[in-house]
Structure 1
Amino acid sequence: MSSIPVMIPWLGEEEALAAAEAVRSGWVAQGPRVAEFERAFAEYLGVPHAIAVSSCTTALQLALIGAGVGPGDEVVVPSFSFIATANAVTYLGAVPVFADVELSSGNLTPGTVEPLLTDRTKAVIVVDQGGVPVDLPAVEALVAGRGITVVEDAACGAGSLLNGRPVGSGAAIAAYSFHPRKLLTTGEGGMVTCQDGELAARLRRLREHGMSVSAADRHAASGGASVVETYDEVGYNFRMTDIQAAIGLVQLGKLPAMVARRRELAARYRELLGPLGERLVADPPHGSSNFQACWLLLPEDAPDRTEVLARLAEKGISARRGIMAAHLELPYKGASRVELPTTELLTGRSLILPLYHSLTEEQQDTVVAALREIVG
């Protein structure tokens, strides 16, 4: 392994004990700890409903179902995002329509979305890319009255703020990721949040095969009475386990400290790298980032990004290519209806720097010194 990896989850004895307690309880599938994690996450966001699921991808799929997306519909998405954003649309037989992003944030704006809206547009997925909060109200204002739902892909966003509130808290529907590359991790896992109670109830059924009564509720039926569930629509197995939820509850308590430390390290990167002319991703005017991905745009005269990554690896430093562009990958090659120059610039010239809670200033100085040597 690299001596300085790009990411290390902040996991420790407290998470291990929580997981062990779940195992010892005998209830390891979706059960009381999942329900507790849902309540705690909803309270953190200030939203009425949170539904725990197996990944952010499944969260996005349920969110789109909740938005009424189906075969033949169009959904505007950024290409500058992990491919799962577009895949969730494709799973439903709908068409992902790729929009460009703004240079400073890597996020969609009303100006990049509006030219792609048609009478077939059913939804827009906005992404808090790398933890940078998207201007959700601006996009919602653009589509108001058109029968279009704005779904917030907040996969990277836990801990970021939009106008002083947690990202996703104002969205009609939002999806979160708890993958190990995210600040708050459950190993794998995700969450859907929404404002509407009937929609939340439906999504809870859909994540558990469409059951009218959950397995946990059947088990808890008073007096051991037999409860026979029904299945009124085709559902999915998108459940989270109680073991994961137990870890998630511990992680949620650590989230403020994680964000504070990452912001401190990102500010230090900016101070140290500024004289080289590289541009580090920054807070937008409308919010603050958790710096889930601390990406750097290399100067035009820098060596090729692949060479920079290889030379960093030779020095024991693990960085990553910048955020991908889905329209350049084989499943979506040639699918873009418009040119995406900013997306292609960012995905081709940016790289993600090591950033995690336990990163030391000495390690950070090593990264910066290596970049100074390589970039010049």
Structure 2
Amino acid sequence: MKPWLGAEEVEALAEVIASGWVAQGPRVARFEDEFRVAMASAEAVATSNCTTALHLALVVAGVGAGDDVVVPSLSFIATANAPTYVGARPIFADVDDRTGNITSDSVAAVLTERTRAVIAVDQGGVPVDLEPIRALCDPLGIVVIEDAACGAGSTYHGRPVGAGADVAAWSFHPRKLLTTGEGGMLTTRRSDWAERARRLREHAMSISAKDRQASILAPAEEYAEIGFNYRMTDLQAAVGIVQLGRLPEIVAQRRRLADRYAAELASIEGLRPVADPEWGTSNFQSYWVEVEPSFPVDREGLLEALAGADVSARRGIMASHLQPAYRGRYTGEAPLPVTERLTRDTLILPLFHQMTDSEQERVVEALRGAARLRGAA
């Protein structure tokens, strides 16, 4: 992955620096408003990163010590860490092998009497099938949080992902399509949750820094609860505004490249690429491929073959329950066979906006070369 940054971002940063207001301020407010509209949400709250957005989402939803939160193990570890921050237990659910996402069935298999929330991830940009999960959770009073870290530009039933969740968290890390360097966003339809999240990200201060600075004699602030320092800067937001305007073009180009990968890989036995599910479209933030038993080498062997051809691929999505941080903790008792297979057998191919057809052909030729190792054996 390579972020697509250029002269417009440089100009936007220069304007912020010239204004003298570089901390959270008017650019953050504008970025929130434009992102809210783009993602079909009622409210948007900018944060320092997606992990802090997930943390705030759990706090405003009332999740805390003694609660259980269902999460996929097949996800970056932040998805499991966020419930741990509030004293809850992450309970790992298995995933669908086509999408890498949890399903209503896998969630139902691990629900407990203490389940207070479910975090559903749009893994690698593939939209999670949210409606069946909500149909399961809503009657039980279980909050559905969408971890849309990878999801900007993906759609679910024709709408932006995240629009159907109680609350969603987004990432603007450099590996994401839309980047601010670091940064995140919380979106929700609930104005009370958004209002509290805005306070909490700023130490739970009763008056914002912007309002204080706008006053000659600022009113005294109060702190009604323990808050956090989860603010975004205007420098980051200025870049985000430019990037948001580019998002449709970025998604269109990535989908074109993904279509080309799919067409080329169709003739290579033993490699199963990720694809759009029937309920939506992916932004292909990660283009992952499963190395099946019929391929002449395993995932590690294919990574070595690609590296030998000067192609840098990456291992597939991690399984949090296999990490030392979660070994020995109670994280649920359901088996996770699909999660373990996908984390063992998948890899992520290079895919970025500026990728040329010749660069992509180099990747495909390296894959074909690995497939020919069958004959050499």
- Establish whether TM, by shorter chain, passes 0.5: yes
Which of 354, 357, 362 is the equivalent residue of 1:366?
Answer: 362
Name the SS for the 1:327 alignment partner. Answer: helix
Q: Tell me the equivalent position of 1:139.
A: 133
Distance in 1 between the 2:186 and 2:220 partners? 27
Q: Tell me the equivalent position of 1:95.
A: 89
Give the length in aligned residue pairs.
368
Distance in 1 between the 2:138 and 2:24 partners? 37
Q: Tell me the equivalent position of 2:375.
A: none
- State whether residues 327 and 336 of structure 1, in contact with CA within 8 Å, keep that contact through their aligned partners in structure 2: no
Amino acid at match of 2:254: R
Q: Tell me the equivalent position of 1:282.
A: 275
1:274-324 CA distance string (max 9 Å, x none): 111211101111100000000001121331322221221232211110011
Name the SS for the 2:41 alignment partner. Answer: coil
CA displacement at 1:199 relative to structure 2? 1.2
1:157-215 CA distance string (max 9 Å, x none): 00000000010012110000000000000000000001111111100000000001110
Distance in 2 between the 1:373 and 1:299 partners? 16
Amino acid at match of 1:281: V
RMSD: 1.0
CA displacement at 1:35 relative to structure 2? 0.4
Distance in 2 between the 1:220 and 1:163 partners? 43
Q: Tell me the equivalent position of 2:250.
A: 258
Q: Tell me the equivalent position of 1:340.
A: 336
- State whether residues 265 and 355 of structure 1, in contact with CA within 8 Å, keep that contact through their aligned partners in structure 2: yes
Q: Tell me the equivalent position of 2:219.
A: 227
Distance in 1 between the 2:349 and 2:108 partners? 33
Q: TM-score, normalized by length of structure 2?
A: 0.96
- State whether residues 61 and 193 of structure 2, in contact with CA within 8 Å, keep that contact through their aligned partners in structure 1: no
Q: Is residue 128 of structure 1 aligned with residue 119 of structure 2? A: no
CA displacement at 1:137 relative to structure 2? 1.2
Q: Tell me the equivalent position of 1:242.
A: 234
CA displacement at 1:336 relative to structure 2? 4.2
- State whether residues 127 and 154 of structure 1, in contact with CA within 8 Å, keep that contact through their aligned partners in structure 2: yes
Q: How does 1:147-226 map onto structure 2 within 5 Å?
A: 147-221=141-215, 224-226=216-218
- State whether residues 77 and 125 of structure 1, in contact with CA within 8 Å, keep that contact through their aligned partners in structure 2: yes
Which of 292, 315, 318 is the equivalent residue of 2:312?
Answer: 318
Distance in 1 between the 2:353 and 2:268 partners? 25
Q: TM-score, normalized by length of structure 1?
A: 0.96
CA displacement at 1:226 relative to structure 2? 2.1
1:209-261 CA distance string (max 9 Å, x none): 0001110111123xx23221110000000000000000000000000000000
Q: Tell me the equivalent position of 1:294.
A: 287
Q: Is residue 306 of structure 1 aligned with residue 300 of structure 2? A: yes
1:30-74 CA distance string (max 9 Å, x none): 011000000000011121110000000000000011111101110
Q: Tell me the equivalent position of 1:357.
A: 353
Name the SS for the 2:199 alignment partner. Answer: helix
- State whether residues 31 and 240 of structure 2, in contact with CA within 8 Å, keep that contact through their aligned partners in structure 1: yes
Name the SS for the 2:140 alignment partner. Answer: coil
Q: How does 1:36-51 map onto structure 2 within 5 Å?
A: 36-51=30-45
Distance in 1 between the 2:301 and 2:191 partners? 51
Name the SS for the 1:296 alignment partner. Answer: strand
Amino acid at match of 1:208: E
Name the SS for the 1:145 alignment partner. Answer: helix
Q: Tell me the equivalent position of 1:3.
A: none
Identity of aligned residues (%): 58
Amino acid at match of 1:241: T
**Which one is further off, 20-29 or 232-241?**
20-29
Name the SS for the 1:275 alignment partner. Answer: coil
Name the SS for the 2:224 alignment partner. Answer: coil
Distance in 2 between the 1:202 and 1:315 partners? 52
Q: Tell me the equivalent position of 1:268.
A: 260
Distance in 2 between the 1:256 and 1:179 partners? 18
Name the SS for the 1:116 alignment partner. Answer: coil
- State whether residues 208 and 236 of structure 1, in contact with CA within 8 Å, keep that contact through their aligned partners in structure 2: yes
